[in-house]
Amino acid sequence: MLDTALAGAAERIQSCLDTALAEAEPGPVTDGMAYATRGGKRLRGFLVLETARLHGVPAGQAAWAATSIETLHAYSLVHDDLPCMDDDDLRRGQPTVHVKWDEATAVLVGDALQTLAFACLARPDCAPDPARRIDLIASLARAAGIHGMVLGQAQDMEAGRAGRPLTLDEVIGLQRNKTGALIRWSAEAGPRLAGADPAALGAYAHALGLAFQIADDVQDVEGDAAETGKRVGKDEGAGKATFVGLLGLDGAKARAAALVDEAIAALAPYGHRAETLRQVARFVIARKS
Amino acid sequence: MLDTALAGAAERIQSCLDTALAEAEPGPVTDGMAYATRGGKRLRGFLVLETARLHGVPAGQAAWAATSIETLHAYSLVHDDLPCMDDDDLRRGQPTVHVKWDEATAVLVGDALQTLAFACLARPDCAPDPARRIDLIASLARAAGIHGMVLGQAQDMEAGRAGRPLTLDEVIGLQRNKTGALIRWSAEAGPRLAGADPAALGAYAHALGLAFQIADDVQDVEGDAAETGKRVGKDEGAGKATFVGLLGLDGAKARAAALVDEAIAALAPYGHRAETLRQVARFVIARKS
């Protein structure tokens, strides 16, 4: 059931991406934008569509907000993979943009994807009321920029230079910014599109995001390259503080499970209608690892 | 008079930048954002403020749109200067961000500056009517992304690989995207903030932008490093097609002068109230070269 829902959301998002990119001048940067947004679970976009559904927002409108967050996420991955950043050659089992093209193209692809994310939210078909669109844009800018994702990346870089491992609280704070902010925005997008209070879904996403990151660390230790599509044990090898390093493997798994329970508890106001979001939370720690 | 007006605009923009960056977490990325937005003529921001004044928009509101375009312009410079792009060590006579900090920081500084540009336009104090803000955001995304500035940069990269010099029409088309789109957005921002027709100011900016780029090429040939604050003769040395190369030095100067006349003619509907914008056009080719 979750698989079907995820596949349906991914298809809707792809259709918006195709529309947005079809009118762009053909060339390596446009090709790179299409390439970088292809594949993946599109979990963030799914959260937008699913929380929009819970608030009675038409899927055709929510699809643009879902496309926006997937586009923004893709930009962050393309820049993250650059040689001067994480220097990753593989992403989802495929060559990264700077490997397939070159670094200059990858910089431009990421830049243009970020621009496109805001363009998607500014479209009239994203929400008829301009005030709703502005709310989404302002909150996305806050989640993505120096108060959110980029701050988390900066904190991550600083940690690498600090010469001492981060504490658990520091890693939690860093991840809340680096990966948590976009996940939270995604889950809050539904109520925002409806002009409703995003607090319950914000709490859900807050716990979900951290569980997701802990599960990622667990997978990094337990997985193998064929399954995760990236080099395994890389974070540990780079001397980065991970949840597994700080809590131990069993401790990390227990913490992730507790956070999943917390995420599910936050969905209470939505009753049985939020069953798919509960499945998403369970899926986060059930990923093959 | 123009100097005073430019200085006043620059000060207003600085005050907004200070406000926007004051609440960011201190660190190298925030420092780099402040550094990259410091100095320069702030001509784009000035165009926003001046065209807003012509349309009766309060300067306190227009200042946020002016700050947005200067922030976006600064992002493009930081990424342009990267080793994988133009590989410039100096900008306005100062070390570029990746030289003063490092490449990873420069990527994040540019990324966060782009985000901040959209955040500035989403602020309620940018325009009380959300529909006006959406109009500015949608048009900025178009001017900055794969339909505008990034397209121009991609065309520039392609030209370097093509192994044949570009024709005059191709260089004009490239510059229209690479530098013209943001200049045009700046001049159209005033009428957009007022909900008025931006056609006349769009025509002004269209001619102004091209004159500006031709004057830049002239300056690149005639200037010296102390005056322009960057390495001189670089574009020519890199085998790039320039207006001076295509039209000759005198031909390029004549073309720039004709474009300035064209820009000034487009201001007719504004009468004597547009005198400062006329001065801006004349200033473009009168820069010491």
Note down pLDDT in tens along chain A; length 289 residues: 889 999 999 999 999 999 999 989 899 999 999 999 998 889 999 999 999 999 999 999 999 999 999 999 999 999 999 999 999 999 989 999 999 999 999 999 999 999 999 999 999 999 999 999 999 999 999 999 999 999 999 999 988 887 788 999 999 999 999 999 999 999 999 999 999 999 999 999 999 999 999 999 998 888 755 555 555 555 554 557 889 999 999 999 999 999 999 999 999 999 999 999 999 999 888 864 3
Q: What is the rounded average pLDDT of the residues B230-259?
A: 79
Chain B contact probe: residue of A78, A118, A147, A161 with most B CBs at under 10 A: A118
Chain A contact probe: residue of B25, B72, B105, B107 with most A CBs at under 10 A: B107
- Tell me the Ramachandran region of residue A174: left when phi exceeds 0, alpha when psi lies from -120 to 50, beta otherwise: alpha
Q: Is B215 exposed, middle or buried (0-12, 13-18, 19+ CB in 10 A)?
A: buried
Q: What is the rounded average pLDDT of the residues B14-32?
A: 95
Give the separation between CA A230 and CA A224, rounded to whole angstroms: 8
* Chain A residues inside the 8 Å CB shell of B141: 115-116, 118-119, 122
CB–CB contact A123 B138 (8 Å): yes
Rounded to a whole number of angstroms, the distance from the CA of B203 to the nearest CA of chain A is 23
Assign B230 a pLDDT band (cuts: 50, 70, 90). low
Give the separation between CA A242 and CA A240, rounded to whole angstroms: 6
* Chain B residues inside the 8 Å CB shell of A142: 119
Rounded to a whole number of angstroms, the distance from the CA of B224 to the nearest CA of chain A is 28
pLDDT of residue B15: 97
Q: At B216, list the tokens.
A: 């830049």
Give the separation between CA A130 and CA A37, rounded to whole angstroms: 26
CB–CB contact A150 B108 (8 Å): yes
**Domains by residue range for chain B, with CATH:** 2-286 (1.10.600.10)
Rounded to a whole number of angstroms, the distance from the CA of A134 to the nearest CA of chain B is 6
Chain A residue with Cα closest to B82: A104
CB–CB contact A116 B146 (8 Å): yes
Q: What is the rounded average pLDDT of the residues B89-110?
A: 96
Q: What percent of chain B has pLDDT over 90?
A: 82
CB–CB contact A103 B116 (8 Å): no
pLDDT of residue B23: 87
Single out the residue of A138, A111, A133, A135 nearest to residue A122, CA to CA: A133
C-alpha distances (whole Å) from B221 to each of A195, A271, B66 are 56, 70, 31
- CA-based diameter of chain B, in Å? 51
Measured on CA atoms in the order A180, B73, B23, B133, is the torsion positive or negative? negative
Single out the residue of A16, A82, A134, A139 nearest to residue B111, CA to CA: A82
Do A183 and A150 touch, CB atoms closer than 8 A? no
User: At residue B227, does pLDDT exceed 90?
Assistant: no
Chains A, B: CB contacts under 8 A, how many?
149
Nearest residue, CB atoms, A130 vs list B111, B130, B142: B130
User: At residue B231, does pLDDT exceed 80?
Assistant: no
Rounded to a whole number of angstroms, the distance from the CA of A138 to the nearest CA of chain B is 5
**Which helix (H) or strand (E) segment is B90 a member of?**
strand B90-91
Chain A contact probe: residue of B111, B120, B121, B170 with most A CBs at under 10 A: B111
User: Which residues are within 8 A (CB) of B217 and not within 5 positions of it... i.e. 6 or more apart?
Assistant: B235, B242, B243, B244, B252
SS3 for B25? coil
Rounded to a whole number of angstroms, the distance from the CA of A289 to the nearest CA of chain B is 31
User: Which residues are within 8 A (CB) of B57 and not within 5 positions of it... i.e. 6 or more apart?
Assistant: B190, B193, B194
Q: Is B209 exposed, middle or buried (0-12, 13-18, 19+ CB in 10 A)?
A: buried
pLDDT of residue B1: 80
- The interface predicted TM-score (ipTM) is 0.94
Assign B57 a pLDDT band (cuts: 50, 70, 90). very high
Nearest residue, CB atoms, B108 vs list A119, A137, A154: A154
CB–CB contact B141 A147 (8 Å): no
Rounded to a whole number of angstroms, the distance from the CA of A251 to the nearest CA of chain B is 31
User: At residue B251, does pLDDT exceed 90?
Assistant: yes
Average pLDDT of chain B?
Answer: 92
Give the separation between CA B243 and CA B256, rounded to whole angstroms: 10
pLDDT of residue A289: 39
User: Which residues are within 8 A (CB) of A16 and not within 5 positions of it... i.e. 6 or more apart?
Assistant: A63, A64, A66, A67, A120
CB–CB contact A134 B130 (8 Å): yes
pTM of the model: 0.94
CB–CB contact B115 A145 (8 Å): yes
Do B174 and A25 touch, CB atoms closer than 8 A? no
SS (H, E, C) chain A: CHHHHHHHHHHHHHHHHHHHHHCCCCCHHHHHHHHHCCCCCCHHHHHHHHHHHHCCCCHHHHHHHHHHHHHHHHHHHHHHCCCCCCCCCEECCEECHHHHCCHHHHHHHHHHHHHHHHHHHHCHHHCCCHHHHHHHHHHHHHHHCCCCHHHHHHHHHHHHHHCCCCCHHHHHHHHHHHHHHHHHHHHHHHHHHHCCCCHHHHHHHHHHHHHHHHHHHHHHHHCCHHHHCCCCCHHHHCCCCCHHHHHHHHHHHHHHHHHHHHHHHHCHHHHHHHHHHHHHHHHHHHCCC
Q: What is the rounded average pLDDT of the residues B197-204?
A: 97
Give the separation between CA A146 and CA B26, rounded to whole angstroms: 10
- CA-based diameter of chain A, in Å? 51
Residues B179-200: pLDDT tens digits?
999 999 999 999 999 999 999 9
Residue the block writes with tokens 């995001």: A209
User: For residues A135 and B230, which has the higher predicted lDDT (pLDDT)?
Assistant: A135
- Dihedral in degrees, nearest 10, Cα atoms B45, B51, B52, B55: 180
pLDDT of residue A280: 94
Q: At A5, list the tokens.
A: 């829902």
